[in-house]
Amino acid sequence: MSGLRMRSVAVVAGAGVMLAIAAAPAGAAGTPAHIRGGETVPVYSYEDAVRESVWVQTTLDNDQDGVPDKVAVDITRPRAAVKVPVILEASPYYSCCGRGNESELKQYDANGVITKQPLFYDNFFVPRGYAFVAADIAGTNRSTGCMDVGGREEVLSAKAVVDWLNGRARATYADGTPAVATRWTNGKTGMIGKSWDGSVANGVAATGVEGLETIVPISAISSWYDYQRYNGVLRTNDYPEYLHRVVNGRPAGVCDQVVKQLDEGSDDATGNYNAYWAERDFRPDARRVHASVFIAHGINDTNVTTTQFARWWERLDVPKKIWLAQQGHVDPFDIRRGEWVDTLHRWFDRWLQGLRNGIDREPQATIETAPGTWVNERSWPASAARTTRVALGNGDGSTGTLGGKVNGGSRTWSDAPDLSEDVAVASPNSAVPGRVSFLSAPLTQPVRISGTPTVTLKVQVDKPTTELTARLVDYGTANRVNYLGRGEGITTLTTESCWGASTTFDDACYRDTAEDVVTSDHAIVTRGWQDAAHHVSLRFVTPLRPGRWYSVTVPLQPTDQRIAAGHVLGLILQASDNEYSTPQSTGATVRLDLRGSSLSLPLVGKLPAPGATAPTVPAAPPSGKRVAPPRFQPLLPG
């Protein structure tokens, strides 16, 4: 940065590059030029936009160098004499991993001035009278401090940016001169981001910071415990330290103390929920959120699982909206691009520009029910869903039944750590060591599962604990989004479409995508995991006594899926699961009392009464995607 003040520089557009219209005068009666017909329109030059960087001072010093930690903030805003609202994305990924389907990074000129911001937000919204601000979370890219993975440093470093935008925090340019945001912004801020970025938005909103008017968390975390633990089951060892290493932007040794705190606080040895995890749990502070919230999430997201949005959503008492797609960990920009950009535009216009466009009076929920089929509904979960208790029947003594009267019986199985999901669910009528299965009768009418299923198991275990894994399966041939494929439900095409204005250094054009759809004879509806020794509380371990019966409830991931008439609903139970977690496999033998066990479904419609034995489901060969499952490999919430 060589002591230069990072002010705007002119960027010359190349031939054929899209440009916004030059700045226009204010409209009638003082209406800003960018507001016409009840919406914002592109009137400000993107080529000539102000591009600058500032460093915002936080209230923390967790790198312990005696100087308050500073957050590097890159800004793109209209060069016009009008105060504009801000769209803010705070991220740890701007230099290590990139953003979006094309993994875009920030880029700077020789003087350190920002020339390219990732994603389309600046290209699309700056000409429409918004500023786009991209902040490097503490300890990443050009910021100081140390990344503490969902903790106070992370959240408060992003909050400091909102405070600065509202005149409550200090910032300087690279040469040390003061940077004052209130000269160009009215302070109204909206935060957006996918995965880790959206998690930061959730955390900042939970502080109740003044000036944050709306957030758009996409595939975002609301509890870091639930991201790195499944009810006491570890996803992988040393997960916080791994995440810190990937995004860390500080010199070697600077953050060793913070890494040590991550290791000790996360407490892999017990899997308990403790003060460390409580600091990283935003849900209890949902009452402090006053910003409106627009959530987007993949119903089949196996990275940031669906409990993250559902438990956050149910606690929010603010204007809110939700999009649920059939993909995995995918941004809606890469699923339903035109509709998403239009809806996001209207959402920001409503909450940041104050335009009464009616979006807050429209149906709350937009849901993909099948590949390419979307419906709008008044609320989520479905208002017609009723909690339905489904008995586990003995069936033929091998394959059990779902529904009907409780008729007793039992099942016994032993932990089989190498049992893959594909093998466990492929042939429910066959005896498979390490798993037991229960099937409904073929459905006489379609049903819908909308909300959070649970399964309560009355068990005896011959070890102090065991993991318990449950899966609901839709057995029946259908076209389905291939969320387990490489693109998690999308295919990236060779064509491009453009979403905003461009410069030589920052174009608004992105590869088009298409849904990846396959025909399959079964699909996982939802999954759930529980460490049996945490059946009393996640805060402490209660070892099981051999020979004693315990009631253990396994919560499954929230979902919204429709199951067609003629299909069969299956429940598959096993012990440890090495594909989605890194369990402490104990080799336990589990005995299940059917009379004391049941499945609870948030159901629209009815399951048919079962026959004397379970129906025969055609045996399907395992897909081959995970024949010999390795232990869970660490994921980035990105």
Task: Give 245-288 pLDDT, tens digit per residue.
Answer: 999 999 999 999 999 999 999 999 999 999 999 999 999 999 99
> Within a domain: residue 548?
yes
Report the DSSP beta bridge partners of residue 492.
513
Q: Which two tokens stand for residue 593?
A: 């009392």
In a domain, 398, yes or no: yes
Give the chain's length: 638
* Final residue before a domain boundary, out of 273, 289, 305: 289
Please check whether residue 195 lies inside any domain of the structure: yes
Per the annotation, the verdict on 329 as an active-site residue is yes
The alpha carbon dihedral of 170, 171, 175, 178 has a sign of negative
Residue range 562-582: average pLDDT?
A: 96
Any idea what the CATH number is for the domain that residue 585 is in? 2.60.120.260
401 in a structural domain: yes
How far CA 480 is from CA of 49, 86, 244, 400, 539, in Å, comes to 44, 39, 36, 27, 39
Residues paired with residue 135 on neighbouring β-strands, in sequence order? 73, 90
Residue 476's alpha-carbon distances to 53, 445, 486, 488, in angstroms, are 55, 13, 23, 21
- Among candidate residues 53, 91, 195, 600, the one labeled active-site is 195
pLDDT of residue 632: 63
Q: What is the mean pLDDT of residues 440-444?
A: 97
Distance, in Å, from the CA atom of 171 to the CA atom of 3, rounded to the nearest integer, reads 15
Is residue 372 in some structural domain?
Answer: no
Active site residue 301: yes
Together in a domain, 271 and 408: no
Pairing of strands 386-393, 292-298: unpaired
Distances (CA, A) of 18 to 87, 124, 293, 324: 22, 11, 32, 32
Cα 329 to Cα 481: distance, rounded to the nearest angstrom: 13
pLDDT above 50 for 125:
yes
Q: How many structural domains compose the chain?
A: 2
447, 603 contact by CB (below 8 A): yes
634 confidence band (pLDDT: 50, 70, 90): confident
**2 included as an active-site residue:** no
- Secondary structure (DSSP) of 533-556: GGSS-TTS--PPPTT--EEEEEEB
Q: Where does residue 343 fall: left (phi above 0), alpha (psi -120 to 50 degrees), or beta otherwise?
A: alpha
Which of 249, 267, 289 is the last residue before a domain boundary? 289
Marked catalytic residue, from 69, 301, 474, 577? 301
Q: With contact defined as beta carbons under 8 Å apart, do 586 and 532 qualify?
A: no
pLDDT of residue 477: 97
pLDDT confidence tier of residue 4, bands split at 50, 70 and 90: very low
* pLDDT for 5: 33
Looking only at the bridges linking them, the beta strands covering 490-498 and 467-481 are unpaired
Closest to 285 measured CA to CA, from 307, 318, 322: 318
**Residue finishing a domain among 267, 289, 311:** 289
> Which domain range does residue 560 map to?
386-477+524-604
* Residue 234 lies inside a defined structural domain of this protein: yes
Angle between helices 196-205 and 152-165 (to 10 degrees): 70
pLDDT band at residue 98 using 50, 70 and 90 as cut-offs = very high
Identify whether the C-beta of residue 204 lies closer than 8 Å to the C-beta of residue 261. no
pLDDT for 34 equals 97
Please pick, among 34, 297, 329, 567, the residue that the annotation labels catalytic.
329
Q: CA 268, 535, 409 angle in degrees (round to 5)?
A: 130
- Rounded CA-CA distance 140/145 in Å is 8
Omega within 30 of 0 (cis) for the link into 442: no
* Cβ neighbours of residue 14 closer than 8 Å, sequence gap 6 or more: 504
Taking residues 190-195, report their average pLDDT.
Answer: 98
Which 3 state secondary structure label does DSSP give 258?
helix
Q: What's the rounded mean pLDDT across residues 534-552? A: 97
